[in-house]
Amino acid sequence: MGRVVDGYKQFVELANKNEEAKGLMTGWDRIIQFIVQGGEDFYITIAGGKASLTVGVHKSPSVTLKGPEEVMYKMLTRELDATRAYFAKQYTIEGSMSDAMKFGRLGTAVAKTQK
């Protein structure tokens, strides 16, 4: 597995342990697809207040984030702000913008776990 998939596997583990993240995920069943140029495609399933990661492409995701491996990795590590990167056209979002924004809030909650 590449560093983006490995990093998001850890993200999913932390999200499932973090009370704030679990609260955000409860009642919000979604599929977040990542198309990683130069890396592996994967998606995060949020269902029943829990997250899981699957390598591959989902047939009907709620939202899709597409971008180069380096950009995806830097957003994961918070070296690159996802909102700024989006407006700088470093990656694209297809589908529900509100779901993308909520996923960003989930990332903020998970980042607090890592500190």
What pLDDT, in 10s, does the model give residues 63-85? 999 999 999 999 998 899 999 99
Per the structure, the complete domain to which residue 91 belongs is given by: 3-106
Q: What is the pTM of this model?
A: 0.93
Domain count, the chain: 1
Nearest-angstrom CA–CA distance, 43 and 64: 9
**Is the residue at 93 inside a domain?**
yes
**Is the residue at 113 inside a domain?**
no
Regions of the chain short of the pLDDT cut 50? none
Residue listed under structure tokens 């990795």 = 73
**Is the residue at 65 inside a domain?**
yes
Burial of 97 (0-12, 13-18, 19+ CB in 10 A): exposed
**Is the residue at 97 inside a domain?**
yes
